[in-house]
Amino acid sequence: MKKFVLLLVTFVIALAFAGCVNVGTTASTTAGTQETTTLQLAEELPDEEVEITFWHIYGTDKTALLDQMIAEFEAMYPNVTITDTSQTDYNTLREKINMGISVDQVPTMALGYPDHFAGYIEADAVLKLDDYINNTTEYEITNSSSSIFGETVTIGLDLDDFVASYLEENSQYEGGYYYSLPFSKSTETMAVNVDVLKAHLTEIRAAGITISDNGFLSHDVPLTYAQIEALADIIVDTNGTNTTTSKCEYLLNYDSSGNMFINMSRQWNAPYTNTDGEILIDNDTTKSMLQYVQDLFLNNTLALPIAWDQSYGSTNFKYGDVCMSVGSTAGVNYNIPTDADTQENLQFGQFQVDFVPVPQFVATEGDSFTVSIDGTDSTFTGSLSAVQQGPNIGIFSSASSAEKLYAWLFLKYLIETDNTAKWAMNTGYLPARLSSYSSEAAIDLTASYSTNYADFLQIAKDFWDADGEVTWATTDVRWNYLYSSMVANIAQSQNTYYQYDPAFAAGTNSAGSATARVEAGYCLENIYIGTLASGSSYNPNTALNTMLNQLTW
């Protein structure tokens, strides 16, 4: 008995110690009380030695262009040293900053997703950038060892040049202030098996879909889901891919089920979440949408990568199991069948791939659309929407005023028209600025090939103008950049209707936005699996309720 009591006491003590973990990160401020103070900057550009730390997740051998930009910036401001460090992955990066906040050990600036910044803002650790954006101060560079000696540097930033939805994403926080600016952005586009479409030209045209003689769809006007259904009637063979009739087993693969849920919710104007962290999925429109998706699953119009036990559908697109595939612009080249593939796996051989905008429900914002759900027609008001993804950069408020000023100048330098264009060509991401699309700054893509963004975009335009019948030599370097150029063009045509995902940290009533996205993906996967197992008798609301249970408490 005595031993038991002793054990009990020690257990309680141990638990009490464990409970002593006191985190200092809860010091929060409400953004409502923040005032729009006008920042008083020094008269002269500070000439003291300044060290700026920039945290990201890029591998040590993948940062050549970033290193180059850092070197250029350091040449412009010789008193500044920028130390960039990879923190291996986004989770470690976020955790280190969150822990660092409590002990005042945060980098000067860091890469991060909106939900990371939402957390940092709650701890009052990140700098409001509006004071710099709107600042009219100008500095003349008087340091003779500077590469821009004698030039004038402005502090303010013209936001009109940025893609509107990128700005909305970075100012979605309480008070509507900018706590970060867009850096590496990506979206989704749809890869298309041109050879299969070309084999059905007459039927496709009869269905009212614009298609060129060589099987290229429109690159400006997105397909509607009504047209997707019509294409499925023409192209899908539910018994499996049939190369003699040029039919695929599935029509359309959607790589990220989370993105599909969120993007389709926007297209249907179905409430999803908001920046206050409310989970709004329990509504009739979402339920109708999921039933519609289930119908698409049932007749093989739509598939998810789990159909092939994969995380991405690009491999099965190459293999011809599916004729169209929606995926991230960052993964373009994974969709292209090449000599490096095992040739007998490529059911349609090395077919021509094209990229088009992601399907929409309406042609213009606010139009109504009618879908048949379980045999009954229902009408909804639609919106145009394409997913916008990718990290932003923010500056932390604990830095000294000189550090903050130079960090701001560095951030501004990274997202300059030419630099963001170079970054986009180098990485497969998209430029943050509208003017980048016509940037004439050249970048060496290989040792012998240098181009600028405007010419880079022209590669796909030339290809499309010739309806795929270009006379480029097989060794022409343009072939290497054709597909990246295609998605860059498509992304540009989509950038008027990008939509961002509201970011919020986990709160007292619900999980955070990152979890919401994951659960949204599971919801569609559950519907897919349930429908495969029990057909139309599976009720998609079961999956929706599971999602709701996971996200709210």
Partner 1 sequence: MAEIFVENEKAYKRRRLISNIVTFGFLSLVAIGILIPFYWMILTSLKSIQEIESVPPILWLNFSDWKITNYTDLFLTVQSGERAGEPLFPFFTYMKNTVLISFLTTLGTIITTILAAFAFARLNFKGKDTLFAVLLATMMVPGEIFILTNFLTINQFGWYDILTQTYTEAVLAMTIPFMISVFYVFYLRQTFRKIPDELYFAAKVDGTSDFKYLLKIMIPIAMPTIVTIIILNSMGAWSAYIWPAMVTTQDKYRLVSNGLRGAFTDTTGRTDYGQQMAAATLVTVPLIILFFTFRKQIMRGVGRSGIKG
Q: Which residues bind partner 1 (CB under 8 A)?
A: 6-7, 10-11, 13-15, 17-18, 20-21, 23, 51, 53, 57-68, 70-71, 83, 85-89, 92, 95-96, 99-100, 102-103, 105-107, 184, 186, 308, 310, 314-316, 319, 330-331, 334, 338, 340-342, 345, 426-429
* φ, ψ at 451 (rounded to 5°): -150, 170
Of 23 and 363, nearer to partner 1 (C-beta) is 23
CA distance 462 to 454: 12
CA distance 39 to 408: 13
Of 188 and 229, nearer to partner 1 (C-beta) is 188
Of 99 and 529, nearer to partner 1 (C-beta) is 99
Of 23 and 466, nearer to partner 1 (C-beta) is 23
How far the first Cα of the chain sits from its last, in Å, is 40
CA distance 238 to 231: 13
CA distance 279 to 523: 14
CA distance 93 to 429: 21
Given the structure tokens 């991405």, which residue do they identify? 312
Residues 470, 473, 477, 483, Cα dihedral to 10°: 30
CB of 358 to partner 1, least distance (A): 19
Which of helix, strand or coil describes residue 207?
coil
Of 199 and 430, nearer to partner 1 (C-beta) is 430
Would you state the structure tokens that stand for residue 38, as one six-digit string? Answer: 């006008």
Of 14 and 532, nearer to partner 1 (C-beta) is 14
Of 1 and 103, nearer to partner 1 (C-beta) is 103
CB of 414 to partner 1, least distance (A): 13
CA distance 492 to 484: 12
Q: What share of the chain is helix, strand, coil (3-state, %, to 5)?
A: 45, 15, 40
CB of 475 to partner 1, least distance (A): 21
Given the structure tokens 């003291």, which residue do they identify? 48
CB of 355 to partner 1, least distance (A): 16
CB of 104 to partner 1, least distance (A): 9
Three-state helix/strand/coil letters over 387-444: EEECCEEEEECCCCHHHHHHHHHHHHHHCCHHHHHHHHHHHCCECCECHHHHCCCCEE
Which of helix, strand or coil describes residue 512?
coil
Of 183 and 497, nearer to partner 1 (C-beta) is 183
DSSP E strand boundaries for 200-281: 250-254
b/e string for 260-285 if b means 16 or more Cβ within 10 A?
Answer: bbbbbbbbbebbbbeeebebebeeeb
Residue length, the chain?
Answer: 553
Of 44 and 61, nearer to partner 1 (C-beta) is 61
CB of 93 to partner 1, least distance (A): 10
Nearest C-alpha neighbor of 179 from the set 194, 168, 188, 164: 168
CB of 403 to partner 1, least distance (A): 10
Sequence-distant (≥ 6) Cβ neighbours of residue 521 within 8 angstroms: 256, 257, 258, 259, 260, 261
User: How many CA atoms are closer than 13 Å to the CA of 457, on its beta-carbon side?
Assistant: 18
CB of 465 to partner 1, least distance (A): 28
Of 181 and 209, nearer to partner 1 (C-beta) is 181
Of 15 and 27, nearer to partner 1 (C-beta) is 15
Would you state the structure tokens that stand for residue 94, as one six-digit string? Answer: 């976020």
| Torsion sign across C-alpha atoms 257, 258, 259, 263 | positive
CB of 62 to partner 1, least distance (A): 5
CB of 325 to partner 1, least distance (A): 14
Tell me which amino acid residue 98 is.
Answer: N
Of 334 and 479, nearer to partner 1 (C-beta) is 334
CB of 213 to partner 1, least distance (A): 31
CB of 96 to partner 1, least distance (A): 6
